[in-house]
A and B are shown apart, each in its own frame.
Chain A
């Protein structure tokens, strides 16, 4: 069974940079697209971007170039870096595996989420 686990700081100061890691167990990170999604407290889901071990990536334009994703196949991990943080970046951050089959795609495995608060 594939499992994903986010890790990183729970509190970051405004203007600083957030670094989160998602560790994948029970499966290889080399085959799929790996996504980050966030959810501000009491609000809906916002897709951040995806990264594939081939190097293909796409980011949500709403983040205005502040996000960088990467994959470490040797550690079976993928990471999110988000810079120039403001209070609006306070959210639960999820990692998720994207699977494409039968002509469609979907997020079939999710991490449990990590709450990141941006505050001085």
Chain B
């Protein structure tokens, strides 16, 4: 199975900060990498797919990059509604699909 490791697992930041979350895969998965945001008690919400394509309706302060085995999610200027947990996911043609362990973004 392909393992995904996110870093950091916890992140404290302030409104207006630039935030970066990293997702490393145990083997090459480009471009089968998606990012999701999950708020407490809610289902995950798709932010980014294909490593760098912004889902319709998602604010442009969110961006994704990377290739091969290393990927990043960046929030250019953190807003109050962005405090949540973020997950990366790989969906290559060889299941099982896997998720990273999550990064909890908290207010400093």
Instruction: Report which A residues bind B (CB closer than 8 A).
Output: 35, 44-47, 49-50, 58-62, 94, 98, 102-108, 110-113
For the complex with contacts A46-B99, A58-B96, A106-B50, 17 further pairs of A-B residues with Cβ separation under 8 Å are A44-B100, A44-B102, A45-B89, A45-B99, A47-B96, A61-B1, A94-B43, A98-B91, A104-B33, A104-B50, A105-B32, A106-B91, A107-B36, A107-B46, A110-B44, A112-B42, A113-B43
Contacts of B34 in A (CB 8 A): 104, 106-107
Contacts of B55 in A (CB 8 A): 106, 108
Contacts of B91 in A (CB 8 A): 98, 104-107
CB–CB B50/A47 < 8 A: no
CB–CB B49/A61 < 8 A: no
CB proximity of A111 to chain B, nearest CB, Å? 7
Contacts of A58 in B (CB 8 A): 95-96
Contacts of A94 in B (CB 8 A): 43-44
Between-chain CB contacts (< 8 Å), 19 pairs: A44-B99, A44-B101, A45-B89, A45-B102, A47-B96, A49-B96, A58-B95, A59-B96, A61-B1, A94-B43, A94-B44, A104-B31, A104-B49, A104-B50, A104-B51, A106-B91, A107-B44, A107-B46, A107-B89
Contacts of B53 in A (CB 8 A): 102, 104
Contacts of B62 in A (CB 8 A): none
Contacts of A104 in B (CB 8 A): 31-34, 49-51, 53, 91
Asked if B87 CB lies within 8 Å of chain A CBs, one says yes
Residues of chain B from 1 to 19 with CB closer than 8 A to chain A in the complex: 1
Contact for A50 among B36, B43, B95, B99, CB less than 8 A: B95
User: Which of A45, A98, A110 has the largest number of chain B CB atoms within 10 A?
Assistant: A45
Question: Roughly how many angstroms separate A46 CA and B51 CA in the complex, as a whole number?
Answer: 20
CB proximity of A95 to chain B, nearest CB, Å? 10
User: Which of A35, A59, A104 has the largest number of chain B CB atoms within 10 A?
Assistant: A104
CB–CB B99/A103 < 8 A: no
Question: Roughly how many angstroms separate A47 CA and B100 CA in the complex, as a whole number?
Answer: 11
